[in-house]
Structure 1
Amino acid sequence: MNESSLAGPLLALLVLIALSGFFSGSETALLTFNRYRLKHLAERGHRGAHLAQRLIERPDRLIGLILLGNNFVNIMASSLATVIAIEVGGEAVIGIAAGLLTLVILIFSEVAPKTYATLHPERLAFAAAYVYTPLLKLLYPIVWLVNLFANSLLRLAGVIHQGAPPTDLSREELRTVVSEAGAMIPERSRSMLLAILDLENATVEDIMIPRHEIEGINLEDSEDEIIQTLRLTSYTRLPLYEGSIDNVIGLLHARNALHVLLNHGLNKEALRAIAREPYFVPEGTRLYQQMLNFQRARQQIGLVVDEYGDIQGLITMTDLLEEIVGEFTTDPADRISEIHRAEDGSALVDAAISVRELNRALHLDLPTDGPKTLNGWLLEYLETIPEPGTSIRVGDHALEVVQTADSGVKTVKIVPLTTPPQQVHD
């Protein structure tokens, strides 16, 4: 066969190799395309995205169509290469032609197209969608027959075909997506989104003001003491109780109480009258659920109670919002700082601080599913009230007990470690 007679078969072989590459690359592009971006583009009216989304809704049909075309062109290419080899050198070069064709298909029809499709799926997926949509309609009887046999074999093997795999993300998967968003989401917004996801993992006990720190008005106090409490309080709403916080009467707005004092003098019965009915929150309530409960009940403050009805603490809507956006209170009187940082990077910490707040402030990783305060965590970990000077290592930080009392740890020094500590006691 002369060169002019080989030009046609060689050109046809090149076309078949190119088609094989198109089928291979488009398969990778369509099946690895980001489903959420595809849905977003389709909803915005992108024609190619809409067609691609329709195709991947039935992956069995799409795969059947692609493999039907790919196998057809590969078999045709193999047959044509055999014919060319016989014409050029006889049967002796058929094996050489088969080896060369395998190498060419591997490089130009498999590895290169699939790599390109992985790097730039959008460019190939939309173009392929315009080709496969009418091609699927044309070859539907053949594709349907192929899928019938394939799906029957899968059912015999115990595999039930349910269409496209689910694309719902779990909470942890969504956390990973947000964390890895990089420059697409500003760091501040990323922190807020992660904080919202964390609301399902925390309960009201994690952020409530403990019972012994609740600031309120005791009707058994003297008039001067009540007035002094109202003058010095940094809170807008205060529990009104008689004798013990367990005997709560209601929630008192400080502004309304001041009006009563200005207009009528100190009148305890008037304070009772203007107090709103207390709002109780069961301990163990998830923070996200409690935020919804506050919204439904139109409340901003709640008293946390245990299973026996005893008050364990107090939680406010402000506390919940600060879990999402961080501390936004600027008045230093609102809350005494529990962390005192030193120039050497260490921090002197009040052991009554919550574990969640400490982890967030100093980037520690103390478990939050046990004791809620640093004191409680240390007592559980050491199983005794430690002596001052006792140190333990937690990750890249050393925790040194500075001050203790009969009831527990009072102050802890937290030091970041750049080298392993020389003397650390468990």
Structure 2
Amino acid sequence: MKIQKVTEPITYIGDVRSFGVIGDPGCDGLGTQNMKVYAGALEQTAKDELTLVVGDLVPEGTKKYYEDICTLTEVVAENHVYGLRGNHDTGAYTECFGLHNYALVAKRFALIVIDNAKRCFEEEGLRLVEQVLAMNEVEQAVIAFHIPLPNHFIQNAVSEEEFDRLKAAYSAEKSKVKYLLCGHVHSWFVDEVDGITMICTGGGGAMIEDVSEHIRACDINHHVVHFYLEKDALCYRVCDLAEDCYPRERKSPVLKSRLEETITGELMAHFKYLLFADRAKRRGFDRVANLFEALADSEYRHAKNFYSVLERPAAFMEAIEGFIPTEQFEYKTMYKMMADYARQTRNPLTVQAYTGAAAAEKVHAELLKEAADIEDFQTDTVYVCPICGFVMAGEDVPDRCAVCGAPKKQYLVFKAEE
């Protein structure tokens, strides 16, 4: 078994020299995209001798969600995996992962896991901190918990009073506490609290979020933290996960082919339902249209999940440039060629469709070139003709679509939030 159900408050783990840390894989839900990141994190921490997940393994602590996360963990993990109870990890946590407060004592360090999932430290955990730090063989330690201590970056932390309780527990042996380790925040930052380095990591699956104007979601990648001994001193490094992490399933020719077929099928269903919703809306059947729009969105989500298994995206800040060549090929070569063929074979509707799409794809490419400078991109309003799909940007747009002549009042408006 890879998942370790802890039954003893103190476990001696021998000459372990490293451990990996994964934060918050499941609190946004156990969807395929999130679990792909978690699987990639498990593969990354397989380089260490054990893995600790610092809370929020599941969105809610029901048995089903724990069964789902445990099944994936057992298949993917290559080392022992320990849990730490987060605020989402209610219910069946103990059944799967055991004690809320425990310590792993290696020859050269101790990892002390304590529960503050309800924004207060359990007395049992604080006594354990005192006990382990008082041990002669323990010379350096990491104290791990889920919700951060008061710090310079976020307000989402335990109270100063709770911090005082923890301080009282480690104060007699404070020099042994090398790191304070937490999750809860879907990002990462390092701070100093009470003269001790606190590492906050929540990049193991949940969507990365803004922490402050200085720690933005666009600047932080999904990641893990490696702790390791260097000349017997405990050190750490943060390792970003590649955007195309966890390649296992796309390496299977059979799965790859079937997934591609499934994606096509789901997208076709999405498109067909949207078309029918549009027909229903034009005839005044708004409830029916609403149903089909919902079904279309569901099919899109299915396609997105299947696609995420195969996806190999570029790093976010570099990704936009990768879309430009496809747009250019479409309007310069493929669509022109298909329109010419349709013209020669006297198929006017196909000529019209390819010609109109080519005009739009040219604008797509131009806008993508501007957006590639992602920090300085200023276009905040984009219009789409609902009849032919032509795209117009900026505030000064024509009264009629340049491709099909549809009136301005029908344009769909996409405006960025301030």
If the TM-score is normalised by the length of the shorter chain, which range does it land in? under 0.3
Bigger relative CO (Cα 8 Å, ≥ 6 apart): 2
**TM-score, normalised relative to structure 2:** 0.24
Query: Structure 1 or 2: larger helix share?
Result: 1
